[in-house]
């Protein structure tokens, strides 16, 4: 049963991410992402593929209780649903390209009250659940290291654009929030 739930969540996650990439890209404006979107996608594909390969072909996984697998599935589902909610909350201001709309407003409420990049926070939660489900520490490293490095690069690019557009308003927002994990990072 767990494998069906896992497969269902992974398929929903994949469909959502492909949908975001296709439907929420800005075709009219020049992007300022400096290749960070391609880096992010490449890191995700490489990391997930490497992690899945390690989990399938290296037989050093530890015994995992059913409740841990259930927790992993819950984390993945919360991550997928949470990301969708964050994207919905931003509405027309969310694009997969790094760019600012002319009437862009800085969002600082809801999910953005404590974290500047909650859509990435929820993606990381999804990846954590995925790594727990893979049940191998080396697989988790293979997934998380490239993904976290790509997120860090993407955040640097996004924050430069936001600082250039919003100035001190964004600087003040940065001083009272964290990047990805409330009160930690």
Q: What is the predicted pLDDT for the residue at 147?
A: 94
Question: Could you tell me if residue 38 is inside a domain?
Answer: yes
Judge whether 101 lies within some domain: no
Residue 1 lies in a domain: no
Residue 21 lies in a domain: no
Distances (CA, A) of 157 to 119, 152, 164: 15, 9, 11
Neighbours of 100 (CB within 10 A): 15
The tokens 């995992």 sit on which residue?
64
Alpha-carbon distance 53 to 37, whole Å? 24
**H or E element at residue 128:** helix 118-134
Give the least confident one: 7-11, 61-65, 70-74, 144-148: 61-65
Residue-range definition of the domain harbouring residue 81: 33-94+107-176
CA 125/CA 120 separation, integer angstroms:
9
Q: Give the position of tokens 């697998």.
A: 69
Indicate whether 58 belongs to any domain.
Answer: yes
Question: Which pLDDT value is given to residue 4?
Answer: 85
CATH code: domain of residue 141: 1.20.120.1630
166 belongs to a structural domain: yes
Count of the separate structural domains present in the chain? 1
Identify the burial level of 91 via C-beta atoms within 10 angstroms of its C-beta, where 0-12 means exposed, 13-18 middle and 19 or more buried: exposed
**Residue 168 in domain:** yes
**Surface-to-core class of residue 148, CB atoms within 10 Å of its CB (0-12 exposed, 13-18 middle, 19+ buried):** middle
Q: Which residues contact 46 (CB under 8 A, 6 or more apart)?
A: 146
For residue 137, the surrounding DSSP H or E stretch is: helix 137-166
Can you read off the two tokens belonging to residue 148?
């976290």
Lowest mean pLDDT among 18-22, 27-31, 162-166: 27-31
Distance (Å, whole) CA 5 – CA 9: 6
Q: Is residue 153 part of a domain?
A: yes
Instruction: Taking residues 71-85, report their average pLDDT.
Output: 96
Q: What is the pLDDT confidence band of residue 24, given thresholds at 50, 70 and 90?
A: low
Task: Look at residue 153 in the predicted model and tell me its pLDDT.
Answer: 93
pTM, 2 dp: 0.85
């Amino acid at each position: 049963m767990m494998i069906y739930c896992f497969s269902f969540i992974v398929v929903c996650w994949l469909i959502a991410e492909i949908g975001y990439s296709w439907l929420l890209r800005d075709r009219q404006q020049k992007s300022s992402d400096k290749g960070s979107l391609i880096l992010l996608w490449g890191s995700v594909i490489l990391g997930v593929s490497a992690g899945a390969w390690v989990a399938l072909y290296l037989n050093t996984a530890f015994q995992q209780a059913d409740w841990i697998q259930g927790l992993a599935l819950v984390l993945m589902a919360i991550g997928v649903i949470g990301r969708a909610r964050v994207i919905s909350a931003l509405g027309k201001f969310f694009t997969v390209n790094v760019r600012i709309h002319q009437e862009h407003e800085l969002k600082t409420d809801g999910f953005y009250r404590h974290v500047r990049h909650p859509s990435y926070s929820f993606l990381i939660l999804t990846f954590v659940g995925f790594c727990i489900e893979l049940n191998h520490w080396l697989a988790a490293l293979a997934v998380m290291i490239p993904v976290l490095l790509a997120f860090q690069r993407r955040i640097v690019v996004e924050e430069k654009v936001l600082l250039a557009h919003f100035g001190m308003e964004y600087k003040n927002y940065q001083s009272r929030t964290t990047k990805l994990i409330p009160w930690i990072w």
